[in-house]
């Protein structure tokens, strides 16, 4: 157990031990959410800013509630209401937030590396809530938490990520986290969205969905991100659904205990059939619950100072 | 390697716990109202041992919980984040006597955090404190109700309580 980082910028630079530290810490925070009083004073007096320069509802609300349950004050700053439209730079915006004594800045930005840049220009702790197609670390952590909780382990499991991998920061963060923790990761989708180059990250790449999910313990579905595609990468949504959508017939050919995940928002009838999204093998809503616990854990760990680790009983 | 002195061996630890259990029984006439809450990492082990002795004295089961206090500490921003342990409080504390159990009583800050943490689970009738070692140097106005052994220490020394470690005897050690 160890955590001495000030920022959470990506999964790539974390060690397996650090990832496990977040998951273990999140377990205790999940229990807080199940109590009558769902709040602890760990971040009392701290100020958290949600700086979302790209639309998001669930991640922003999840961070917002996480900060509130830790007794921090939280301010939301979104792209449409902000001064970006008036031409202010990201650096100036962040420095303005810092002038208000923000202790944490949670940033979502369409440019890869924006959180890393911020971490160099301000004193606050930076949390990456999604940067371009690069990384979405808390999503990978909550996915790993959900898998570990349901399967009791991660090492040795077969995890298939199905969908738009090329444009997906969720996929990249998941690949880093899962391979560091010893899972076997298979990627599947149209060849235009799942290039063979991903094999360099230690994954198996296939374009045949039945082959991808046959031995899977976990099937993680990703949304087709229309907003990130500059040109058409596959002929039609209908064809995508026919070739790669998870339906009852396909799920019947998987292991009986294979579980289905999706980071949301889901497109019913596109990448996932409605009845599968709602079935007992779907972890989609558990992921939302666990996301809150994981984000509380991340805020709690980053809040730690520089000294030796605090020890119970002293 | 720091110089280490054994303050309590396994038999002495068990004798101290037996005496504390009898003192708890003497103070609290109605055993049915008493629950124990141990503070990890070692206080919870002590609480389970105390609970066993008390249930033999009272001839009734004594509920034992585990109360992690890391989220209520007052030094969170001053040092690296502490390891958080699972809190398991499988009973209602409202209206009952809660005996907090910790291994080493030092600054009193853990006890304050524990009282805050307990507050989230209800309103106990009263809270008592049982510790295996009282090493002094209080920084807050709290005191223990039941003490296994008073050990005068220097601030630089460390007191370590080792219980149930495979291949090692139970012992309390003072490191200079």
Write out pLDDT tens, residues A245-300: 999 999 999 999 999 999 999 999 999 999 999 999 999 999 999 999 999 999 99
CB contact under 8 A, A3 and B77: no
With beta carbons under 8 A apart, name residues in chain B contacting A125. none
At residue A311 the predicted structure's pLDDT band, cuts being 50, 70 and 90, is: low
- Model pLDDT, residue A82: 65
pLDDT above 70 (res A227):
no
With beta carbons under 8 A apart, name residues in chain A contacting B104. 313-314
Mean pLDDT of B74-97: 93
pLDDT above 60 (res A230):
no
Closest CA to A28 of A312, A265, A305: A312
- For chain B, what are the domain ranges? 9-75+86-154
pLDDT > 90: what percent of chain B?
Answer: 93
- Model pLDDT, residue A94: 86
User: Which residue's entry shows tokens 């962040």?
Assistant: A94
Mean pLDDT of A98-116: 94
- Model pLDDT, residue B2: 74
CB B46 within 8 A of CB B17: yes
Return the CA Rg of chain B: 16
pLDDT above 80 (res A84):
no
pLDDT > 90: what percent of chain A?
Answer: 78
With beta carbons under 8 A apart, name residues in chain A contacting B69. 312
Cα distances from A292 to residues A29, A53, A258, in angstroms, run: 9, 21, 24
- Model pLDDT, residue B77: 83
Q: Is B77 on the interface with A (CB under 8 A)?
A: yes
Q: Mean pLDDT of all residues in chain A?
A: 92
User: How is domain A137-288 classified at the architecture level of CATH?
Assistant: 3-Layer(aba) Sandwich (3.40)
Structure tokens at B77: 């921003």
Give B5→chain A minimum CA distance, Å.
19
At residue B155 the predicted structure's pLDDT band, cuts being 50, 70 and 90, is: very high
CATH of the domain spanning A16-135+290-302, picked from 2.40.30.10, 3.30.565.10, 3.40.50.10320, 3.40.50.1370: 3.40.50.1370
* Minimal-distance CA residue of chain A relative to B110: A313
- For chain A, what are the domain ranges? 16-135+290-302, 137-288
Mean pLDDT of B100-122: 96
pLDDT above 80 (res A229):
no
Give A172→chain B minimum CA distance, Å.
27
Q: Is A310 on the interface with B (CB under 8 A)?
A: yes
Cα distances from B134 to residues B16, B146, B165, in angstroms, run: 13, 10, 22
Q: Is B103 on the interface with A (CB under 8 A)?
A: yes
**Domain B9-75+86-154 belongs to what topology?**
Rossmann fold (3.40.50)
Measured between CB atoms, which of A41, A297, A301 is closest to B72?
A41
Measured between CB atoms, which of B39, B75, B84 is closest to A25?
B84
With beta carbons under 8 A apart, name residues in chain A contacting B76. 42-43, 300, 303-305, 310
Using CA atoms, how far apart are residues A235 and B157, in angstroms rounded to an integer? 72
With beta carbons under 8 A apart, name residues in chain B contacting A307. 78-80
At residue A236 the predicted structure's pLDDT band, cuts being 50, 70 and 90, is: confident
Question: Starting from the edge strand earliest in sequence, which strands make up the sheet with A259-261, in order?
Answer: A204-206, A184-188, A158-162, A218-221, A259-261
Q: Is B155 on the interface with A (CB under 8 A)?
A: no
For B166, residues 6+ apart whose C-beta sits below 8 A from its C-beta are none
A178-193 burial, b at 16+ Cβ within 10 Å, e below that, comes to bbbbebbbbbbbbeeb
- Model pLDDT, residue A93: 87
Write out pLDDT tens, residues A166-207: 989 999 999 999 999 999 999 999 999 999 999 999 999 999
Burial class (CB in 10 A: 0-12, 13-18, 19+), A66: buried
CB contact under 8 A, A1 and B83: yes
Q: Is B114 on the interface with A (CB under 8 A)?
A: no
Structure tokens at A294: 């994981």
With beta carbons under 8 A apart, name residues in chain A contacting B92. none
Give B80→chain A minimum CA distance, Å.
4
Structure tokens at A233: 């990468």
* A137 or A81, greater pLDDT: A137
With beta carbons under 8 A apart, name residues in chain B contacting A39. 120
CB contact under 8 A, A304 and B80: yes
- Domains A16-135+290-302 and A137-288 belong to one CATH topology: yes
- Model pLDDT, residue A314: 41
Using CA atoms, how far apart are residues A211 and A188, in angstroms rounded to an integer? 9
* Minimal-distance CA residue of chain A relative to B101: A313
- Model pLDDT, residue B9: 96
Return the number of other C-beta atoms located less than 10 Å from residue B27's C-beta: 13
At residue A312 the predicted structure's pLDDT band, cuts being 50, 70 and 90, is: very low
- Parallel, antiparallel, or unpaired: how do β-strands B64-66 and A184-188 relate? unpaired
- Model pLDDT, residue A225: 74
Mean pLDDT of B30-58: 96
Using CA atoms, how far apart are residues A292 and B142, in angstroms rounded to an integer? 35
């Amino acid at each position: 157990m160890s955590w001495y980082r000030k920022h959470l910028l990506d999964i790539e630079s974390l060690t397996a031990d650090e990832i496990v530290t977040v998951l273990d810490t999140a377990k205790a925070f999940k229990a807080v959410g199940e109590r009558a009083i769902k709040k602890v004073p760990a971040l009392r007096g701290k100020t958290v800013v949600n700086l979302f320069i790209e639309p998001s509802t669930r991640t922003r609300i999840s961070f917002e509630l996480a900060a509130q349950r830790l007794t921090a004050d939280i301010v939301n700053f979104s792209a449409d209401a902000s001064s970006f439209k008036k031409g202010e730079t990201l650096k100036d915006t962040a420095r303005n937030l810092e002038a208000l004594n923000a202790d944490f800045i949670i940033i979502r930005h369409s440019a890869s590396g924006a959180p890393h840049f911020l971490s160099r220009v301000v004193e606050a702790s930076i949390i990456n809530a999604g940067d371009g197609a690069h990384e979405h670390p808390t999503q990978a952590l909550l996915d790993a938490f959900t898998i570990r909780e349901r399967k009791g382990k991660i090492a040795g499991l077969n995890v298939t990520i199905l969908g738009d991998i090329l444009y997906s920061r969720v996929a990249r963060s998941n690949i880093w986290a899962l391979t560091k923790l010893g899972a076997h990761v298979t990627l599947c989708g149209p060849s235009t969205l799942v290039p063979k180059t991903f094999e360099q990250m230690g994954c198996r790449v296939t374009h045949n969905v039945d082959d991808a999910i046959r031995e899977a313990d976990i099937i993680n579905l990703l949304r087709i991100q229309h907003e990130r595609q500059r040109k058409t990468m596959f002929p039609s949504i209908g064809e995508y659904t026919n070739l790669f959508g998870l339906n009852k017939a396909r799920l019947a050919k998987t292991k009986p205990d294979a579980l289905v995940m999706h980071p949301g928002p889901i497109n019913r009838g596109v990448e996932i059939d409605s009845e599968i999204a709602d079935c007992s093998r779907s972890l989609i809503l558990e992921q939302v619950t666990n996301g809150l616990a994981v984000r509380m854990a991340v805020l709690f760990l980053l809040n730690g100072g520089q000294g030796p680790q605090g020890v119970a009983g002293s | 390697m720091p110089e280490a002195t054994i303050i309590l061996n396994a038999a002495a630890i068990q004798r101290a716990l037996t005496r504390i259990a009898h003192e708890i029984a003497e103070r609290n006439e109605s055993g049915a109202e008493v629950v124990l809450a141990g503070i990890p990492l070692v206080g919870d082990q002590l609480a389970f041992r105390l609970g066993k002795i008390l249930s033999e004295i009272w001839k009734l089961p004594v509920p034992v919980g585990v109360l992690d206090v890391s989220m209520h500490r007052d030094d969170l921003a001053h040092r690296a984040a502490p390891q958080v342990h699972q809190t398991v409080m499988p009973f209602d504390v409202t209206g009952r006597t809660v005996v907090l159990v910790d291994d080493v009583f030092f600054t009193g800050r853990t006890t304050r955090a524990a009282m805050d943490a307990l507050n989230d689970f209800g309103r106990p009738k009263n809270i008592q404190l049982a510790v295996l070692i009282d090493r002094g140097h209080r920084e807050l106005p709290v005191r223990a109700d039941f003490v296994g052994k008073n050990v005068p220490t220097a601030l630089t020394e460390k007191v370590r309580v080792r219980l149930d470690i495979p291949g090692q005897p139970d012992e309390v050690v003072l490191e200079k």
